[in-house]
Amino acid sequence: MPAPSERGRVVAATKPPGTSSKPPLLGPVAYDGPRKVLAGTGMVPGHLIGRVTWKRGVDDLTDTVKVKHASGGWSTLGMKSYEQGRGSFEGTSQHVIWLDEECPIDIYGECLIRLMTTQGVLLLTFTPLEGMSETVLQFQLAADRATLGHM
């Protein structure tokens, strides 16, 4: 594999392993002899998956994954969990952040900050099961928030 060039960084916040019924993004964890690998049978095909680093202390959870970009360069996919708290989302600018499931408001705010210098994109995919939470209210017009009793 050629040395990866940083084309962009992507952070995807994930739920704990084994809690999703959706098809996995990178496929299940497999073994190539003693080496842990990603099967590459998910949305990202195996031939586009480069170097993988694993979270310490959590079985079968990736930390970062290099993914071959259509431009020929490499993108870095970083995995985070809301349970790690806002601090784990601090520090680096990002091009794309995908928050899968509703996040705490402090993590949402931190993700917006990470995108400021790159004019990046934030994707949120969730059903508002918690009702009118602070995160949900960010998508309401100010006048509507006042009507709902939130400012």
- Amino acid found at 13: A
Catalytic hit among 101, 102, 110, 134 = 101
Is 101 assigned a catalytic role?
A: yes
Q: Which two tokens stand for residue 135?
A: 């995160």
Q: What angle do CA 139, 141, 147 make, to 5 degrees?
A: 115
66 burial class (0-12, 13-18, 19+ CB within 10 angstroms)? buried
**Active site residues per annotation:** 101
